[in-house]
Each structure stands twice: as structure tokens, then as C-alpha cells.
Amino acid sequence: MREILIPKEDLVLKYSYKTPEKIYGYKKSENPSDWQAKCREKLKELIVCDFDFAERPVEIHHTTKLDFGMVHSLIMQVDETLSIPAYLLIPEVIKSETPVIAVQGHGYIKGVLGIHNDYHHAFGVELCRAGFVVLVPEIRGFGDLVNLSAHIDGGRLIYYNWGELMAYTLVTDAFQKGYTLIGDTVQDLYAWGSYICGYTKQQSYSVAGISYGGDLSLILSALDERVDKTFASGTLGSMTPIFERCYNAPAHCIPNILKYMDRQEIASCIAPRSLCVHYGELDVPSPENSSAAFNETAIPAYNGVKRFYGILGVANKIQLAISPDMKHEMDNSALIDYLQGNEIKNILKMEDIFKKKPKERKVKPDEFCNAISGNGANTDPYVIFINDWYYGTCTYDGDGQKSIVVYRANHLQDLFNTTPITVFNAVDGTDYSCDMQAPEIHYLAGNWYIYFAAKRNDANKCHVIQGGTDPNDPLSAPYHYMSELSSPNSNTDASIITINEKHYLLSACQTDTGKCIAITEMINPWTLNPDTSTIINTPEYAWEKQSLDIVEAPEALYKDGKIMIIYSASAVYDTGCCLGMLTYNQGDPLLHSSWDKQSEPVFKSTNTVWGASHACFTTSLDGKEDWIVYHAKVYNTSDISAGALICNIRAQKFTWNRDGTPNFGEPVETGTPVREPSGTKHGRVVCEVEGGIIGGNAKIIDDALSSGGKKVRLDKIGDFVQLDAYIYSAGYYTLTILYHNTGGDIEYKSLYINDEFIERLDFPGHCPMTNPSRVTTVLFKQHMNSIKFLRDTNDSPGTDIDCFIIEKQ
């Protein structure tokens, strides 16, 4: 039988798509106005959009007075099957006659009310504060309209699954309807334009949008000549890289669009009316960015639109605003300046955008930089220090996780970059068979135990496994399953607190008042007394209710007889997620009244570190310092589709106040050198490869998920990276290479030490988000040594080298 099979190496297996020449590309021989009319009609045809529809009734559902003005909750009736919400924001003092429609990118929360704000919604509130009448509509496919067929039997098509949040996307709707949802959405916006013009008694309105909302703003403004000013943020670049690189961006799926036009032509249809194209400087301005944001096509597209404005003699009506140190986010100050007719302040010139160099920070051998998990795979850290070793656990690699792993290292900063040791594999079909979360190691009653939450049939429960008896080694024996921790309030985030030599389980549970924290008496390390379970903390303050009403992830903290519980507050994906504190006041631990709650967070986000939460506590090697280990978000967004759930692990020293409470300070900025825990043994060197010499066609890639924010890509034969490492004393060292190989095949690279070939190392594939590392042993001479990695085979697609960690054996 094998003789008739055709091996894959005999086939050509390369997907290739050549973008067609645009039929409607503008030619100098054409009349500009005729060309615009032709483009508009074809665009309407492609998105199946028609503005000749009956007036849509709008009713005010509710009115609320907030600090920035009045908010009217609106409902627009599209037809007998669909109604669409929006929010009309009226400032106390109206300073502009022209109203604004603020179009969100994506999101689930009702951020426009000024209560829960994310970067897709908040600019509507800021416009209102500046004196504009603002209409903020929810859009199809997101928010309350996330699943337009939820009420149809058998009609629910789930394209993404973000934990418990299912997003019914634009693509799946198109599957059922036979055409893109974008046209319907643009019609909705047109109807809202009619409403806001009628409400304010104006003939025109302005439009501002970000990301997908920027795309919609361009299309709406091209088709509706009532729009006088357009501010499109994080968009305009060509759709070509999205389609050619198979980037999953349903917001851009207009069938056959590139045969006729691209965003450049759509934006040109806005002329001669005013247009501002906006980007953040850090919005990934590189060919590696396949999204609609600031990729390599953005500047050429802008220049093309600007040329067309020049043909019409209105080059002064279009401008590019690039905001320094901002990512894929709206610059509220620039937006307000533009709509008020002022010069936009504090923006970069186009020719300077790629010239700005990052701040250089030299890291000494006894320092490290956060984050300490290189590429964002890890959340919910827990760390203990035993007998010169740090041991760590965390939630690893998202939904579907069926194993518990333990990390082990002599250095805290290396812990979550070591090769994980699997200590327990779940049995399929059990109540703990999927999505293991927040594991913690505890030594109780002569045994090691790991407590964790797991999911089956969408229900979370706490469980426990038992290990060995050696108090100095949590890995001294295999772990085996003991039991579910049965209690009405033990659903997630199981942790142990000891009060008066008695052990209690802390956990989080869902109630009618949100997610709460409970305490339950333990009969033994694997059995609870369910009758004692008590809720001791519920969401009360605004900082505990950002995006969702949540308090969770309780951790005990002890100091000189004082007992505290540090917990996470607000939704984990919200940028404002932070830490709160309860203090035990010597009463019955099972009574709510025995716990005093601090009214303000004890640790919260900054302008550079977002969503600092889910913490644990350990010490330095010499016991003289206390350290907090926590996770924070990689991206400054509360939008799950934009990476809000991608976190990395961070560590820093903290001190104590005179009253015995912790002083955590502020989260240390990414890239800022941090002195390692006192007592750490020398002999460890960390080498960021972007600081070395690169050759061939190797290139440095910006990557927020990499150590130091950069990595080196070795794509072709002859590509190499070489750097020098200072070694304290000669001998054998462990060399750990952190890498990313997103391809499916094992790749090989040759390692040279001091120009001598050592070995070829294999780099397994499918590793974009799992902290992969390759470990080998190397003999180094004293003082300066050179390390070189060379690509000498034509493997595909290439391996990205992140950094080297060298440690004396």
C-alpha cells in the first residue's frame, strides 16, 4: 500500500495569491468627481448598502446625569426583528454646534456611560467633556449585538470562543446572509446620522472612529456627504496584507473588494471634506503587522490619498497625526484639537517615525527587567522558596490545559523561563479534565498539596492533589488526585490561610452580587466542612467593579502576627484590575465582621503597567527581603479580541509600613532594571540577543511578548546572531535559549562558542505562546566568550531567538 502513497515532498504546497490590479484605481485622465461617484456606487454594491430606507424610530430608554453631562440611552428600531442601542451624551455647556458620532472598534462593555471605559469607548466621553454633543452607537457583531442569531434555534455560529464570552462575528453572519455585515452597519450609522442631525437641528455632523470603527468611519464618510470632518484612528493601511497573510480580521471581509478598490480609494471619496488619519507611534509600524493598524502599507496609502486631495486643490484638508509613545489607541487630545479646528499638538513628523530609538538601559549582571515570563503565556503565578530553590506554578497556555506543571530555579527572575516539570495529568472525562487554573503548592500536615480549579461542562470547581512528604522538596514524589473541595462557595482560586494554627480554604465564587471571596474551615487538607463556608468579601467600590463586579484570587500575607488577605479586584481583562486588602481583626475567621476592608487599592496600574493583579508573595534567598510576584497585561487594552487576556509575570521587592501593612509601591515599568533578590548566587548571565551582532539577512523584530521587547529572526541560510558574554570563572555552564518557532516543523541551528562549532540544536515548532526554551551544556573560558547561532539549513519558516541565560552548573 505504501508504494501508492505520494509523499508531501513531491508536491508543491505553497499558497500564493496575487492581489489584482484595482479596476477603480484613479488615473489622471479621469474626472475626479466622476471617479468618486463611480467608486461610491461600486462600494455600495460590494457591501450591499442602500440608504433609501424608511425612517427608523428612535426612543429614549433612560436618562442619567453624570459628572460630564447628561446621558440618554437610546434604542433604534431597525425592523421587527432587530433594535440597536446607542448613547447620546449632552455636555453641561455645548461648545460646538456640529455633533459627533463616535464609532467604537470592538468590545463587550457599555463603556460609553463613563462608568466602565476602555480605549474603544472612552473617547466619546472625552469629546462630551470638551463640549461636543456625542452619539456613541453599539455596532453589529459586538457588545449587546455580539450574536445576532442567538434567538434562532440552531442558528448560533460561534467563530471565536474567549473563555465564557462567545463572539458572533461579522464573518459568521455573512455565512448565513450571503453578504458582509459591514453594509448593514454603515446603514445603521447613516440612520444615526439622520437622528443626530435632527436632534441638534444641524445639516452636518462629524465622525470619529478607532480600529474597526476607523474603517467604518472611512466608509460612512465616503458615502454620506453630510459628514464634514472625519478622524480615523488605527486604520487606512491596505487590506492586502490582511488577506495575503491570512490574518483573521473579519472586520475587513468585503467580498471582491481588492479587485476594485482599497482603503486608499475609499478614503479619497471623502475629499474635499476634511480628513485626519491617526496612528500611535507604537502601533507596530512594521511588515510583521498584518492587521489594519500601522503596517508598512499605511504611509503609502496616506500619501496616495493626499495626492488625490492635492488634485482637487484641497491638500490642506487632509493631515496625518502620529502620537508619540501611544499604541493602538485613540489620542483624545489630538481628536479634540482636530474637531475644534485647532492645530494638533504633540505629534511626530512622518519622516521621523522610524528614526526614534528606544531608551537604552544597561542591565548589570545582578539585575533583571520585568517581565520575568518572556512571552505572555503565563497568568495566576504562585511562588514558594524552599531550601535555596524557587518553585512556581501558574495557569499555562489558555483553555484546554489538562496538566499541572511546576517550575524550579535558583533565581526568581529565571523561574518561569525554565523548562516546566509536569507533575499531574488529568484524566479525560473527569470533573477536573479541562482548563486547570491558578494552581498553588502548599505543605500541610506532613505532605505537599497542589490546589487548583478546573472546568468540566462549563462549571469551575476547586480540587486538590497530594505529593510527597519531604518538606524540603515539593517534587520528592509523584502527585495523585485526592478530591474535589466540596463547598457551595469553592469554585476557583483555591488558597490556604492559617489562623491560630488552623487551616482554612480561601476561594472565589459567583453570586448574585458578583464574584466574591469565601472562607471555609478545613477538616483535613483534602476535605472541607461545607457548613462553615462564609462570604467575607463582595465587590463594593468602583475599583472592584471595572468591566465586571469581581473580587477574586485571595492570598494570605503574614507580618509580625498580623494576618491579611490580598485579592484581585475587577475583571482580569480590564486595564484597571488591581489589588485590594482585608485585615483579620482577631474575631472568628468565619465571620464577615472579623475582616476589615481597605477602601482603596493597595497596588494598581500605572501609565505603563496595566492590570496589575493576582499576586503571591515570597522572600529573597537570604530571607532579608519580601517580594511580590504578580501578573499584568501585555497590551494596554480591555478588549479581549485585541489581546486583553495576554499577560506576563512580573516581580519586585516591597516593604512594610509602620502599622505592619504592606507597601507595594507602584509596578516597576517594563524594561527598568531591578536589583535581583538579595543573597542570589552569582554566576548567572542574561544576554539579550538584540544587543549583539547580526549577519546575513537576520533582523531585529519588535515583539511585546519577548524578553526586552525584541527578538532576532533567522530566516535564511547564512543568517546569524553573535554576542559576547562575560563569564566570572571557567567551567561548564547551562545555556538556556528562549525562542519562538511558530512553524509546524522542528528547526535546527548550529551553535558556535569562541568560533568553534559545538552542536546543532533542535527547536520544536508550534511555540508562539508557551515560553519555549532549549537547554544545553557549554564549556566557557574565563572572562570574555563569544556565542554564535547560525542558520545553515533551509528550514522554514525560521526561528526567532529571544535571549540566552547562562548559569554555572
Q: Which residues pair with 336 in a beta bridge?
A: none
DSSP string over 351-419: GGTTTPPPPP-PPPTTEEES-SSTTS-EEEEEEEEETTEEEEEEEESSTT--EEEEEEESSGGGGGGSP
Q: Which residues pair with 675 in a beta bridge?
A: 367
The label of the residue with cell 458615502 reads: 223
| Cα angle, residue 386 at apex, residues 381 and 391 outer, rounded to 5° | 30
Q: What are the distances in angstroms from CA 538 to CA 506, 514, 614, 615, 693?
A: 14, 7, 17, 19, 54
User: One of 184, 380, 574, 719 is an active-site residue; which one?
Assistant: 380
d(CA 216, CA 210): 9
94: closest CA among 117, 74, 120, 68?
68
Residue 41 a catalytic site member:
no
Phi, psi of 515 (to 5 degrees): -85, 130
DSSP structure class, residue 348: B
Residue 552 a catalytic site member:
yes
User: One of 184, 337, 440, 552 is an active-site residue; which one?
Assistant: 552
Specify the long-range contacts of residues 707-710, CB closer than 8 Å, at least 24 apart: 707/369, 707/371, 707/374, 707/375, 707/417, 707/738, 707/802, 707/803, 708/369, 708/671, 708/803, 709/358, 709/670, 709/671
In sequence order, what are the residues at sequence separation of 6 or more whose Cβ sits closer than 8 angstroms to the Cβ of residue 150?
A: 156, 168
Q: What are the distances in angstroms from CA 263 to CA 45, 74, 529?
A: 16, 31, 63
One-letter-per-residue 3-state SS of 94-139: CCCCCCEEEECCCCCCCHHHCCCCCCCCHHHHHHHHCCCCEEEECC
DSSP string over 685-710: EEEEGGGSEEETT-EEEE-TTSGGGE
413: closest CA among 17, 807, 18?
807
Question: From the CB of residue 117, how many other CB atoms can be counted at a distance below 10 Å?
Answer: 23
DSSP string over 193-215: HHHHHHHHT-S-EEEEEETHHHH
**Residues 374, 736 contacting (CB under 8 angstroms):** no
Burial class (CB in 10 A: 0-12, 13-18, 19+), 179: middle
DSSP structure class, residue 603: B
Burial class (CB in 10 A: 0-12, 13-18, 19+), 444: middle
Q: Which residues pair with 808 in a beta bridge?
A: 733
**Residues 700, 682 contacting (CB under 8 angstroms):** no
Dihedral sign for Cα 46, 52, 57, 61, please: positive
449: closest CA among 460, 440, 436, 437?
440
d(CA 520, CA 492): 13
Question: From the CB of residue 275, how many other CB atoms can be counted at a distance below 10 Å?
Answer: 29
d(CA 490, CA 404): 19
191: closest CA among 116, 140, 120?
140
The label of the residue with cell 507602584 reads: 666
d(CA 403, CA 423): 8
| Cα angle, residue 305 at apex, residues 301 and 308 outer, rounded to 5° | 145
Point out the residues that are catalytic. 380, 552
